[in-house]
Copies of this chain bind each other. A is one copy, B any other.
Amino acid sequence: MTTFTFDKLVIFGVGLIGGSLARALRERSGAASGGRIVGVGRSRASAERARELGVVDDVAALDRDDELRAALDGADLVLIAAPVAQTGPLLERIAPFLSDAAIVTDAGSTKSDVVAAARAALGDRIARFVPAHPIAGRESSGVEAALPDLYVGRNVVVCPLPENRPQDIARIDALWRATGAQVSTMSHEQHDRVFASVSHLPHLLSFALVERILGAPDAALKFSFAAGGFRDFTRIAASNPEMWRDVCLANREALVDELDGYTAVLARLRAAIVAGDGAELEAVFARSREARSQWQERGGRASGDTAPK
């Protein structure tokens, strides 16, 4: 690992994700050198906690032009670490104060919508925006939950735009590698298809199972006999409703495609059950078990989810 060098990193939203990045750069031995880290919150008070904890050096309020100008003055790196729906408004707010030297990146769990919002907000300065998605989370949120090692061994997906300069992409790549993460690159369309499939759809399906049981006249009886399989299957139904509402809407195109493909598999299994086709059921189940076991043996993803809870 080579040391990552920066002058000034401005983080919009110093919660679990932004705070952990700041702590990784500061506290991981040899990760980064030099540079001030500024935290910007909706209000000064919301960022102040991050400074009290030593996560950032300075703070600024989003609604104060003078503070925002000072925060971004001399910044070579800007991270948007806020809910994806806020990416557009935030970039619009920041744009007038951005220097030409600054590379802007984000940490949103969907990318096509973020890219569209960034294009609208930044116009012909879109080249400076390098989208990314660190795949890490914890059950707790907020800057108090931030950890210097949150990203160690985790995946970060960078989704370069055609307009991005290679050196800017390389810089975001280096930023995340400095946290101990593994960095991959794919298009934002592919990113959204992949995560619709392995993260967004499972969350939707898990919420839907609980909703289905809730709608039954004997819901209480059913819950009282739910056991280990239900527990594992619905663990992600304990996720944040606002966040998953936003993810479902932000990634609606890829998610609806995945949902339709999944519904087609269910229809195939239903037909096999009705027809008493045990061979078909066993073939599907055996194939799934084998693939799941291989995934597990390859190390799966030991922990962390596609987004903070």
Contact = CB atoms under 8 A, between A and B. Distances in A.
Give the number of times this chain occurs in the complex, counting copies. Answer: 2
A233 interface: yes
B289 A238 contact: yes
A241 B260 CA distance: 25
Interface stretch (A6-14, A24-32, A160-168, A262-270): A262-270
Nearest to A242: B282
Interface residues of A, number: 92
B197 A216 contact: yes
Contacts of A213: 197-198, 291
Contacts of A282: 241-242, 245
A284 interface: yes
Contact of A292 (B155, B234, B240, B265): B234
B225 A135 contact: yes
Contact of A211 (B157, B225, B236, B287): B287
B222 A198 contact: yes
A197 B212 contact: yes
Contact of A301 (B226, B241, B288): B226
Contacts of A62: none
Contact of A232 (B207, B233, B281, B306): B233
Contacts of A248: 273, 281
Interface of A: 135, 137, 155, 157, 184, 186, 190, 193-195, 197-199, 201-216, 218, 221-223, 225-242, 244-246, 248-249, 252, 255-256, 258-263, 265-266, 269-270, 273-274, 276, 278, 281-282, 284-289, 291-293, 295-296, 300-301, 303-306
10 contacts: A135-B227, A204-B266, A205-B266, A213-B291, A215-B265, A228-B301, A232-B235, A233-B233, A259-B270, A263-B263
